[in-house]
Amino acid sequence: MFSFSGKMISKSRTPTSLILILLLGIIWLSLMGSITMAYFSVASVFAITNWVGLVLGLSLIFWNQKGKLFDRVNPLLFLVVGFLLLGLTLVEDSFSGVNRWINVLGFQLNIGLAFGPMILIAIEKLKRPLISFFTVGFVLLIFLFQPDASQVTAFGGASLMVLHAQAKHKSLVLLFVGLSLAASAYSWIYLDELAPVDYVEGILGMAYSLHPLWMGLALVSLIFVPLPFFLVPRRDLPVLSYAIGVYFLILLVSASFGNFPVLIMGYGISPILGYFSALAWLTEKRNDE
């Protein structure tokens, strides 16, 4: 494990240096998004909102170095709150038949993006395969009704890894594989018709219009998003670390096949909250280190 104060708990300094490099990559990606928005005269409030979220996210990582915030959270209580918030998305006013957001203090918060990684962490903490199975099934059902093909695929794929590690009876895993594949196929066949917003889902197109090389650099920089979970996994929970990395990787790939947010680079406080919460969990001090 590492400490931002420079005091190492593990034998090597490599994790500290690597995490800092990856965080700089994330900051650079956000900066690329801001530069792209500014070039096309997008209202500065969107870039500023992203940076406020990024600063809050980095602050959470620093603050949680010894805080063990996630150890103190009751996973069952968190799941109940998560279910209620996800359920609220279905009763909020829709955009072109899509229900992914609830209004919080004037912000349209995408609950799936903001809480998806934390739901995965709560499922792991429960360590009850049957409850985990029904929990994941319920969440996927809500994503189907929203509808959100990227979340159905990403959350389904990540959940499969967690369930496979938990389940004693592999028949449960095979059942989930079938249900997850069916849900993903359905969600992509009946893809929503929500129009893209240039500085959210279309930010890479804007980058290409600025210059093809700028878009190429952006694509390379997007690799920084899932990398921490693969390169510096938690030694006590490696499978969950990889699962969260897969979750973010699928979300990024999904943006190439549908009108879905481009994480960190495009405007959106929800993916920033979800991403940095996951990073705070990844980098917190553990009892084994």
In this predicted structure, what is the pLDDT of residue 9? 39
Element (H, E) at 109: strand 107-110
Predicted confidence (pLDDT) per residue in 269-282, tens digit? 999 999 999 999 99
In this predicted structure, what is the pLDDT of residue 56? 96
Instruction: Count Cα atoms within 13 angstroms, Cβ side, for 196.
Output: 18
Average pLDDT for 64-81: 83
Average pLDDT for 9-21: 66
In this predicted structure, what is the pLDDT of residue 4? 36
Average pLDDT for 221-233: 96
Q: What is the mean pLDDT of the chain?
A: 90
Predicted confidence (pLDDT) per residue in 173-207, tens digit? 899 999 999 999 999 999 998 899 999 999 999 99
Average pLDDT for 53-75: 86
Identify the band that residue 96 occupies on the pLDDT scale cut at 50, 70 and 90: confident
In this predicted structure, what is the pLDDT of residue 63? 87
In this predicted structure, what is the pLDDT of residue 2? 39
DSSP conformation class of 69: G
In this predicted structure, what is the pLDDT of residue 10? 42
Question: DSSP characters for 112-153?
Answer: HHHHHHHHHHHHHHH--HHHHHHHHHHHHHHHHHTT-HHHHH
In this predicted structure, what is the pLDDT of residue 263? 97
Average pLDDT for 31-40: 98
In this predicted structure, what is the pLDDT of residue 148? 96
What are the residue ranges spanned by the domains of the chain?
17-283
In this predicted structure, what is the pLDDT of residue 1? 43
Token pair recorded at residue 154: 């990403």
| Whether pTM exceeds 0.85 | yes
Q: What are the distances in angstroms from CA 98 to CA 17, 89, 143, 173, 251?
A: 42, 9, 10, 30, 17
Average pLDDT for 25-37: 98
Predicted confidence (pLDDT) per residue in 97-108, tens digit? 899 999 888 888
Q: What are the distances in angstroms from CA 262 to CA 117, 152, 204?
A: 16, 16, 8
Average pLDDT for 211-239: 96
Question: Is the per-residue pLDDT at 36 higher than 70?
Answer: yes
CB 107 within 8 A of CB 269: yes
Predicted confidence (pLDDT) per residue in 121-168, tens digit? 999 998 888 889 999 999 999 999 999 999 999 999 999 999 999 887
Q: Is 98 helix (H, G, I), strand (E, B) or coil?
A: strand
In this predicted structure, what is the pLDDT of residue 170? 80
In this predicted structure, what is the pLDDT of residue 230? 97
Predicted confidence (pLDDT) per residue in 247-272, tens digit? 999 999 999 999 999 999 999 999 99
Average pLDDT for 233-240: 93
Identify the band that residue 284 occupies on the pLDDT scale cut at 50, 70 and 90: confident
